[in-house]
Amino acid sequence: SLVDNIFFAAKIEHDEPGFSNEEINVSDITQLAVERFAHNKKAIKMVNNIKAGLYLHVDPVGFASVVNNLIENAVKYADAATDVMVNLSDDGAAVYLTVTDSGMGISESEKERVFDKFYRVGNEDTRKTKGTGLGLYIVKRFVEIYNGQISIEDNKPVGTIFKLSFPKSIA
Ligand code: ATP
Ligand code: MG
């Protein structure tokens, strides 16, 4: 997944060329990502509410990378034996993806910065997790390319909610 992120970050910087806009089943891709993380060493339970049969005109590899990075983060930055929730829904205008964890949370001042390339919260000496800081950079770039929106909210009482939306109409 590190190699995937490095390749994809390089590709996404030059956006459109080589980027596919076919109509893809995002419900299936989201379901697959959830299953990929269902058995994890931290005994984190994946709880999902994925509406079946939702389609978007987006690059399939890119969409998979977005869902995988968000779920990977949720599992990585949450305590053992907590729940991670993945929701996919829609209305007439857009498809909505949310990934919710009960982990350490992201402070107000870090909420914008976590999307920066190579940015990681804290410092190398105190950090327990490994990473390159590319995951959320990719996620945000992908959302921007398709004119979607992304925000970070606090989960109650603890943790983080990533909320994404993708318009159904082709930009
Ligand atoms: P990579 O994804 O490239 O392997 P990474 O996970 O460190 O490395 P990002 O996914 O871009 O990088 O996340 C950036 C930083 O944001 C993380 O290092 C972490 O500090 C913070 N972060 C991301 N997701 C969460 C989360 N769900 N809860 C708490 N902190 C988070
Ligand atoms: Mg990450």
Residue 78 phi/psi, 5-degree rounding, is: -105, 160
Q: Residue 16: pLDDT band by 50, 70, 90 thresholds?
A: low
- The reported pLDDT for the residue numbered 62 is 92
Nearest atom within ligand 1 for CA of residue 122 = 20
Is the model more confident about 99 or about 130?
99
Packing angle, helices 60-76 and 135-145, rounded to 10: 140
- Give me ligand 1 centre to Cα 135, in Å: 7
- Give me ligand 2 centre to Cα 92, in Å: 31
Nearest atom within ligand 1 for CA of residue 119 = 14
Ligand 1 atom 25, closest CA: 73
- The label of the residue with tokens 């996919």 reads 88
Q: What's the rounded mean pLDDT across residues 53-74?
A: 96
Is the distance from CB of 54 to CB of 27 less than 8 angstroms?
yes
Tokens of 167: 């318009």
3-state secondary structure of 32: helix
- The residue whose CB lies within 8 Å of the most ligand 1 atoms, and thus the one to mutate among 136, 143, 154, 160, is 136
- The residue whose CB lies within 8 Å of the most ligand 1 atoms, and thus the one to mutate among 68, 120, 160, is 120
Nearest atom within ligand 1 for CA of residue 137 = 11
For the chain, what is the mean pLDDT? 92
pLDDT value at 17 more than 60: no
Q: Residue 14: pLDDT band by 50, 70, 90 thresholds?
A: confident
In the chain, what percentage of residues exceed pLDDT 90? 78
Q: What's the rounded mean pLDDT across residues 68-77?
A: 97
- The reported pLDDT for the residue numbered 170 is 60
Is the distance from CB of 67 to CB of 27 less than 8 angstroms?
no
